[in-house]
A and B are shown apart, each in its own frame.
Chain A
Amino acid sequence: MGEKFISERNLRFLLYEVFDAVSLTRYPYYADHSREMFDMVLETAMRIGKDMLYPTLGEMDKNPPELAGDHVKVHPVVRTFMRECGEGGWISAIAPMERGGQQLPSIVNFVPNGIFAAANYSASVYLLLTSEASHLIESFGSDELKETFIPRMFSGEWQGTMALTEPQAGSSLADIATVAEPTDEGYYRMRGQKIFISGSDHDGVDNVVNLMLARIKGAPAGVRGISLFVVPKKRVGENGELVFNDINVTGLYHKLGYRGCPINQLSMGEADDCRGYLVGEPHKGLAYMFQMMNAARLAIGLGAAAIASAAYYASLEYSQVRLQGRRMTEKDPATPQIPIIEHADVKRMLLFQRSVVEGSLSLIAQCYQYSDLAIVSEGDEKERYSLLLDLLTPVAKSYPSEMSILSVSQGLQILGGYGYCDEFPLEQYYRDTRIHPIHEGTTGIHGTTLLGRNVTMKDGRALQLFLEEVQKTIGAAEALDELKPSAQKLRDALEKLQGVTAHLLDIAKEGNREVFLADATLYLELFGIITIAWQWLLQAVPVQKALRNTDGLSETDVAFYHGKMYTFRYFFGYELPKADGLIRRLMETDGLTVEMKAAYFSD
Chain B
Amino acid sequence: MNIVACVKQVPDTEALIKVKADGSGIEEGGIKWVMNPYDEYGVEEALKLKEKNGGEVTIVSMGPARAMETIRTALAMGAEKGIHITIDKADEYNTAAALAAAIKGINPDIIFCGQRAIDDDSGQVGSILAELLGLPVVTLVTKLEIADGKAKAVKPIEGAQLLIESQMPCVITAQKGLNEPRYASLPGIMKAKKKPVDVKDAAALGITVQPKAKIVKMTPPPERAPGKIIGGDDPAAKAAELAKLLREEAKVI
Contact B189 A44 (CB under 8 A): yes
What's the Cα separation between A33 and B72 when bound, in Å? 14
Contact A102 B29 (CB under 8 A): no
Residue of A2, A37, A92, A555 contacting most chain B CB atoms (<10 Å): A37
User: Within 8 Å of chain A (Cβ to Cβ): is B20?
Assistant: no
User: Within 8 Å of chain B (Cβ to Cβ): is A312?
Assistant: no
Chain A 467-487 interface residues, beta-carbon cutoff 8 Å to B: none
Contact A34 B193 (CB under 8 A): yes
Interface residue from B29, B32, B73, B186 paired with A88 (Cβ < 8 Å): B186
User: Within 8 Å of chain B (Cβ to Cβ): is A89?
Assistant: yes
User: Within 8 Å of chain A (Cβ to Cβ): is B69?
Assistant: yes
Contact A557 B30 (CB under 8 A): yes
Q: How far is the CB of A237 from chain B (nearest CB, A)?
A: 31
User: Within 8 Å of chain B (Cβ to Cβ): is A41?
Assistant: yes
Contact B186 A555 (CB under 8 A): no
User: Within 8 Å of chain A (Cβ to Cβ): is B187?
Assistant: yes
What's the Cα separation between A455 and B187 when bound, in Å? 41
* Contacts A554-B29, A554-B30, A555-B30; A36 near B187 (Cβ below 8 A): no
Interface residue from A44, A102, A554, A557 paired with B190 (Cβ < 8 Å): A102
Interface flags for A1-22 (1: CB within 8 Å of B; 0: not) read 0100000100000000000000
Contact A102 B187 (CB under 8 A): yes
Contact A37 B189 (CB under 8 A): yes
User: Within 8 Å of chain A (Cβ to Cβ): is B151?
Assistant: no
Contact B186 A41 (CB under 8 A): yes
* Contacts A2-B14, A88-B183; A40 near B30 (Cβ below 8 A): no
Q: Which residue of A lies closest to B187 (CB)?
A: A89
Interface residue from A34, A47, A90, A556 paired with B186 (Cβ < 8 Å): A90
Contact A102 B186 (CB under 8 A): yes
What's the Cα separation between A557 and B184 when bound, in Å? 28
Contact A556 B29 (CB under 8 A): yes
User: Within 8 Å of chain B (Cβ to Cβ): is A270?
Assistant: no
What's the Cα separation between A556 and B193 when bound, in Å? 29
Residues of A within 8 A of B34 (CB): 43
What's the Cα separation between A90 and B187 when bound, in Å? 9
Residues of A within 8 A of B171 (CB): none
Contact A47 B183 (CB under 8 A): yes
Interface residue from B14, B30, B185 paired with A87 (Cβ < 8 Å): B185
User: Within 8 Å of chain B (Cβ to Cβ): is A93?
Assistant: yes
Q: How far is the CB of A358 from chain B (nearest CB, A)?
A: 19
What's the Cα separation between A48 and B34 when bound, in Å? 14
Considering only CB atoms and an 8 Å cut-off, how many residues of chain A contact the other chain?
A: 27
Q: How far is the CB of A97 from chain B (nearest CB, A)?
A: 9
User: Within 8 Å of chain A (Cβ to Cβ): is B174?
Assistant: no
User: Within 8 Å of chain A (Cβ to Cβ): is B192?
Assistant: yes
Contact A556 B30 (CB under 8 A): yes
What's the Cα separation between A93 and B62 when bound, in Å? 33
What's the Cα separation between A36 and B32 when bound, in Å? 15
What's the Cα separation between A72 and B165 when bound, in Å? 48
User: Within 8 Å of chain B (Cβ to Cβ): is A84?
Assistant: yes
User: Within 8 Å of chain A (Cβ to Cβ): is B76?
Assistant: yes
Chain A 41-95 interface residues, beta-carbon cutoff 8 Å to B: 41, 43-44, 47-48, 84, 87-90, 92-93
Contact A37 B193 (CB under 8 A): yes
What's the Cα separation between A39 and B69 when bound, in Å? 9
Residues of A within 8 A of B186 (CB): 41, 88-90, 92-93, 102, 104
Residues of A within 8 A of B192 (CB): 37, 40
Residues of A within 8 A of B187 (CB): 89, 102
Interface flags for B9-45 (1: CB within 8 Å of A; 0: not) read 0000010000000000000011010100000000000
Q: How far is the CB of A3 from chain B (nearest CB, A)?
A: 9
Residues of B within 8 A of A40 (CB): 69, 72-73, 76, 184, 189, 192
Contact A44 B184 (CB under 8 A): yes
* Contacts A32-B190, A34-B193, A554-B29; A88 near B72 (Cβ below 8 A): no
What's the Cα separation between A32 and B72 when bound, in Å? 16
Contact B29 A43 (CB under 8 A): no
Residues of A within 8 A of B189 (CB): 37, 40-41, 44
Contact B193 A36 (CB under 8 A): yes
* Contacts A554-B29, A556-B30; A84 near B69 (Cβ below 8 A): no
Residue of B29, B183, B193 contacting most chain A CB atoms (<10 Å): B183
Interface flags for A336-366 (1: CB within 8 Å of B; 0: not) read 0000000000000000000000000000000
Residues of A within 8 A of B30 (CB): 554-557
What's the Cα separation between A93 and B187 when bound, in Å? 9
Residues of B within 8 A of A92 (CB): 186
What's the Cα separation between A549 and B137 when bound, in Å? 52
Contact B72 A44 (CB under 8 A): no
Q: How far is the CB of A322 from chain B (nearest CB, A)?
A: 17
Known contacts A88-B183, A88-B185, A557-B30; 6 further A-B pairs (Cβ under 8 A): A33-B190, A37-B192, A40-B184, A43-B73, A87-B185, A555-B30
> Which residues from chain A sit less than 8 Å from chain B, CB to CB?
2, 8, 32-34, 36-37, 39-41, 43-44, 47-48, 84, 87-90, 92-93, 102, 104, 554-557
> Which residues from chain B sit less than 8 Å from chain A, CB to CB?
14, 29-30, 32, 34, 69, 72-73, 76, 183-187, 189-190, 192-193
A-B pairs, top 8 by smallest CB distance, nearest first, are: A89-B186, A554-B29, A554-B30, A556-B30, A88-B185, A102-B186, A44-B184, A40-B189
Q: List 7 A-B contacts (CB under 8 A).
A: A37-B189, A41-B186, A43-B73, A44-B183, A44-B184, A84-B183, A90-B186
